[in-house]
């Protein structure tokens, strides 16, 4: 009498499991590559934006708001 008949015949063969794992790894490698490429593109765009005059104008127009009655700075 067989107690565990499913132990001898597996539902997924080793070859099928290997193909599934390789496919999942490939998908994750593609997603990581896309994220790295996007990171470098955003870093380059950020560098360009930091060099423009728009960022400098924002810094010069900033006014200190801490001098007021709420901070006891009479």
- Output 23 or 2, whichever has higher pLDDT: 23
CA-to-CA distance for 23 and 20, rounded, in angstroms?
Answer: 5
Amino acid 52: pLDDT: 79
pLDDT digits (tens, 9 = 90+) for 21-63: 999 999 999 999 999 999 999 999 998 888 876 656 655 666 6
Q: Which residue has the tokens 């700075």?
A: 73
> Which two tokens mark 37?
């490429």
pLDDT at 54: 64
In degrees rounded to 5, what are phi and psi of residue 57? -65, -35
Classify 63 as helix, strand or coil: coil
Kindly list the distances between the CA atom of residue 52 and the CA atoms of 2, 45, 55, 63, in Å, as whole numbers in the listed order: 77, 11, 6, 21
Supply the pLDDT for residue 45.
Answer: 92
Give the residue, 6 or 54, on which the prediction is more confident: 54
Distance CA 56, CA 52 (A): 7
Pick 4 or 16 by higher pLDDT. Answer: 16
pLDDT value of residue 64 = 66
Residue 49 near residue 55, CB atoms below 8 Å: yes
């Amino acid at each position: 009498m067989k107690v565990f008949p499913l132990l001898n015949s597996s539902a997924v063969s080793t070859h099928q499991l290997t193909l599934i794992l390789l496919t999942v790894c490939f998908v994750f490698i593609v997603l990581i590559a896309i994220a790295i490429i996007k990171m470098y593109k955003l870093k380059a765009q950020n560098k360009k934006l930091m060099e423009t005059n728009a960022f400098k104008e924002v810094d010069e127009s900033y006014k200190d708001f801490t001098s007021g009655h709420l901070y006891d700075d009479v």
